[in-house]
Chains A and B, each alone.
Chain A
């Protein structure tokens, strides 16, 4: 890599692109550009070990220059390091001899669309500058990293920054509308501009957080927000870090978006409030809210209520105001001082989901506490997680500060992994969640009456309307009925986006598209139109319906699939395509001249007893409300068949006690509905041991039941 330093030809080429003023190679400059405010590199410098120098520094002013630079770099195989202000806390990429591409001359504000609240700026612009410009017009980016005065837009994006106000305004990546960048091969790309899009992966995310490794960001379009009109502060003290964390979790869970949120542990509380009464508290949670009109006040009141319930003690606004108005750079300066005197100081931050915050806190502290002083702050909360920052200070006994630094980091990272920062939160647990019938532990949801799903109107002249007729129709369906009588049913399902498919138990168990109501009816459609033969395979599909009628509950046109299937089965039997058991059963029943539905079930049971294997099986039989209502006889027959086959079954719907009553309510019969529901609750207790989770019925009833805290 050394060969690039002072290389005259390379310098000429660079000068061709940038002119003489914007190419530098002085020893001091290239050294400074190699250094970062990374504790480790401070320690190394202190010990007299200087980082290896870069070869050149260039200052592009246009995206084309950046592009030309990268093409040249490719030719020469020389590394290029994009630079903002170099405030990167975790060190610069090691590329001795490389070219630093300082973006700070690309610092123009390009456009500001106030209607859409989108600002477009070059990557080298300082966040601070941007904020100052737009705040004059009544807007804020809402991104205030501690280093705002000295970090660039490009650098913030390339390091995926989270600012102090992230709980309210989001991290930098949430502000990005689109990016322009130069890829390593020198080509210029611009990502799409839209509030949201579904045209493939979000390519911005290849560049966000890439720390310059995947390209140089040259321009960003960012979302801004309206400047807040007012700010309110509040502090609460908690008896333990866990309690404080719980309170903060509940605050964000309630949908509040504090602009500032900082929970300090005992050590940090003592240090941060030294010399005031507050220092005597255990853990202090500082909150700030900002926004327009009464909103911040309302949010603060809700948060105060949550704090009170979580055993917090209100400390007024002062501690919080002091905390948020203080510059974080103070702390950093202290670190510098410490480094000067042979100590080690750094901030280690780990993100974790809430369920792991406690474990992470304990693990990291435990790993380091013998060797270092640790103060901890919990911040950047979202409803799903937060970040823990450990302020670590230590003194090297043997004087090798770098070694101590490395050891502390290694141990902290390992501990964080153990404590939850590194453990994926994906444990199995199917059995734990076995469905419990009608058990809802929710309270207080108020749903306006009649707000559920509107009732569809039946759209068919063909289907039988009365209960009795329906059964008859099913039984007496003939082959010729199939395509004339059920013409509309067949077509409707064919053209349907399978709206009822989630409710169909057969579709759910098999996961097969052919065995959805849509699938079977599509077969019939294509057969009817002459595109498919009605062969054994097609016939078999017709048997993949349990006649449960659940699908009907989710059909706007109240299409009834079972009668069609029954007619299709008749065709299958006639054409000898049905499963052989079915044919045999038909012959058997013909011999016995079975005519009526009632005798049919009994005969079927007799037949099964002789024919079907006698293995004992445990079955929970859930007929489904619709089935019970429309085909009560079929349910009885099923019981008989089960018994004949010695199936060990539990039926959820024996008798009528298990009807939850939801249909009554839909009819506006409030009192009978309540009575019915009471009975159902009794029934549910009796059935508690069984695993029954029939989604359709539940969701149907859900809206109605929830209002009463059922």
Chain B
């Protein structure tokens, strides 16, 4: 079945757009429109080999400066065409799905670092710069932003701000919303706005916090200023095991509560611990764990290529993820691994490090030395590549990142796991902690006899997990955002707050031009 790509935008529209950005900045080619029809939402990925794609943009546009963005947005409003801002498409909830077609606004040609200010410890850059390229630029000058999402290689600065992204070192540096000092955006009414208008201003509502996380539904981010830090002088590592999840969670809580700020503090549940391994040595599982256990994976490519369809079916038949999970649960006896990393100025870092070790030891943690933590650090981006193998082998993997206050963490963890574990293999780690609570990051792997059934199973897992989370009064997303896939849960997430969100949308974008269908709007 060939993918049917609908007719593109008319030539009048293309020439109007070309008049704004030049002919090089517009494309209606089928391939381009195909590539902009999905982000990294696993729901779409499950159906990838079936050739299923639902929505396509009418045209892809690459603006080069704020004024061009403004003109495009004005043009779109006039035509009542949807505008979907696009970073790098690494979003995992369908945030860039062009549900109503329209203009796909790829920001990546706006990728300049505008200023690095040493006095203010701030960086101002355009939104289209790739995360790692921005961090490289900062690192070269002796700074760090401290924002290291696992997707740093494949996501943009603007995408981070638009989705309230969290990096792996958030316990020390905060989430992106804690870093944003200022931003410039073009709202749907075609105005260029800056927040704050004057730096440091504290009058009225904080528009930065409104734009941050708005996922392109209120406007297009065209520039952002974030705080940065001098490159840390010291980095220290240590790891512990705790007998069970509640004990580990307790330790995390006490560390945060006492004002200690490890750069990274990650607690793995027993299954995840088993996957990661508590040894430091490289020849151990190196964090691959279960995802490398794939039936029939060893079959050569040649064989696969000869009869791909039959092979896939065979592989689906032997994929039994929920069973594997349940069997392994009984075997997971290593307890819970916690890895810790501290960084910053020499003396203070060492001080916090020593104090944290004392805390953990007092709470029954077994000190494993630095090796397992170093191993985590070396492998910190590898997890992002794991999904490839899982999908390649006809299963699916997805992650659910919820958060709640400490009093409910243990319950939320247990309830979500209980709800899912009969359907898929599910494990979790706790990786973003705050004095008042933390996030739980579930990873689940599943499969079914055919892609359609897998898709249905995937949906079912999400629905159950979201249901439990809302009931336990956690938030349904700690850092991936809402996009399209979680839109249906927003009324329950926000309650009457939906009204405020609606009011915002109506104020900026009454015609629903900006990224329609997202955030439940």
**Footprint of B on A, CB under 8 Å?**
113, 115-118, 160, 162, 171, 173, 177, 183, 187-211, 214, 223, 225-226, 249, 253-256, 291-295, 298-299, 302, 350-356, 383-385, 387, 417, 420-430, 433, 435, 439-442, 444-448, 450-454, 456, 460-462, 483-485, 487-488, 491-492, 494-503, 508, 511-514, 519, 522-523, 525-526, 529-533, 537-538, 541, 554-557, 695, 698-699, 702, 706
Contacts and interface: CB of A to CB of B under 8 A. Distances in A.
B382 interface: yes
7 contacts: A187-B499, A192-B495, A201-B214, A209-B204, A210-B205, A492-B388, A497-B384
A117 B257 contact: yes
A555 B382 CA distance: 9
A304 to B, nearest CB: 12
A116 B406 contact: yes
Contact of B136 (A198, A254, A698): A698
Contacts of A433: 113, 116, 137
A488 B301 CA distance: 6
Interface in B322-372: 344-345, 347-348, 351, 355, 370
A194 B437 contact: yes
Contact of A513 (B89, B406, B493): B89
Interface stretch (B8-16, B124-132, B455-463): B124-132
Interface size range of chain B in the complex: 35 or more
Given A187-B499, A255-B348, A384-B181, 18 more contacts: A116-B405, A118-B405, A198-B213, A203-B497, A206-B504, A209-B206, A225-B259, A424-B197, A425-B122, A453-B381, A494-B48, A498-B89, A508-B108, A513-B35, A522-B35, A523-B31, A537-B29, A555-B385
A273 to B, nearest CB: 28
Contact of B142 (A440, A454, A529): A440
Contacts of A497: 40, 90, 151, 154, 384, 387
Contacts of A254: 345, 348
Given A194-B437, A202-B210, A498-B89, A448 B374 contact: yes
B304 interface: yes
A202 B2 contact: no
Interface string B99-110: 000000011110
B455 to A, nearest CB: 15
Nearest to B378: A454
A253 B213 contact: no
B115 A487 contact: no
B514 interface: no
Given A428-B114, A487-B305, A502-B154, A256 B177 contact: no
Contacts of A441: 141-142
B486 interface: yes
Contacts of B434: 195-196
A533 B2 contact: yes
A202 B407 contact: no
B120 A198 contact: no
A496 to B, nearest CB: 5
Given A199-B494, A557-B388, A529 B132 contact: no
B117 A445 contact: no
A442 B136 contact: no
Interface string B164-183: 11100000000101000110
A148 B452 CA distance: 61
Contacts of B473: 193
Interface stretch (B69-77, B221-229, B421-429, B441-449): B221-229
Contacts of B347: 298, 302
A502 B436 contact: no
Contact of B201 (A194, A351, A427, A440): A351
Q: Which of A118, A196, A439, A533 has the most CB of B within 10 A?
A: A196
Nearest to B520: A200
Contacts of B496: 187-190
Contact of A190 (B142, B165, B497): B497
Contacts of B235: 446-448, 451
B36 interface: yes
B405 A195 contact: yes
Contacts of A354: 119-121
Nearest to B117: A355
B273 interface: no
A514 B31 contact: yes
Nearest to A504: B130
B388 A201 contact: no
A118 B207 CA distance: 25
Contacts of A530: 1-2, 51
B415 interface: no
Nearest to A291: B259
A554 B132 CA distance: 11
Nearest to A433: B113
Nearest to A388: B200
Q: Which of A183, A206, A211, A440 has the most CB of B within 10 A?
A: A206
B35 A200 contact: no
B136 A113 contact: no
Contact of B31 (A293, A355, A424, A538): A538
Top 7 A-B pairs ranked by shortest CB distance?
A351-B200, A511-B108, A531-B51, A194-B475, A195-B437, A454-B378, A502-B130
A421 B200 contact: yes
Contacts of B464: none
A701 to B, nearest CB: 11
Interface in B280-327: 282, 286, 300-302, 304-306, 308
A202 B382 contact: no
Q: Which of B381, B387, B475 has the most CB of A within 10 A?
A: B475
Nearest to A114: B407
B214 A495 contact: no
A424 B435 contact: no
B301 A487 contact: yes
A695 B133 contact: yes
A331 B153 CA distance: 54
B501 A699 contact: no
Contact of A298 (B2, B60, B122, B351): B351
Q: Which of A183, A208, A255, A356 has the most CB of B within 10 A?
A: A255
Contacts of B1: 530-531
Contact of A201 (B120, B198, B218, B306): B218
Contacts of A460: 301
A446 to B, nearest CB: 6
Contacts of A450: 374, 378
Given A116-B406, A497-B151, A695-B136, A200 B209 contact: no
A496 B39 CA distance: 11
Contact of A200 (B106, B214, B229): B214
A243 to B, nearest CB: 14
A189 B497 contact: yes
A186 B255 CA distance: 42
A199 B206 contact: no
Contact of B348 (A202, A299, A417): A299
A384 B227 contact: yes
Contact of B154 (A194, A387, A499): A499
B88 interface: yes
Contacts of B158: none
Contacts of B253: 115
B388 to A, nearest CB: 5
B163 interface: yes
Q: Which of A190, A203, A460 has the most CB of B within 10 A?
A: A203
A453 B235 CA distance: 15
A147 to B, nearest CB: 16
Contacts of B194: 424
Contacts of B231: 442, 445, 706
A530 B438 CA distance: 46
A258 to B, nearest CB: 13
Contact of A484 (B36, B203, B305): B305
A495 B392 contact: yes
A513 B121 CA distance: 33
Nearest to A294: B351
Contacts of A249: 119
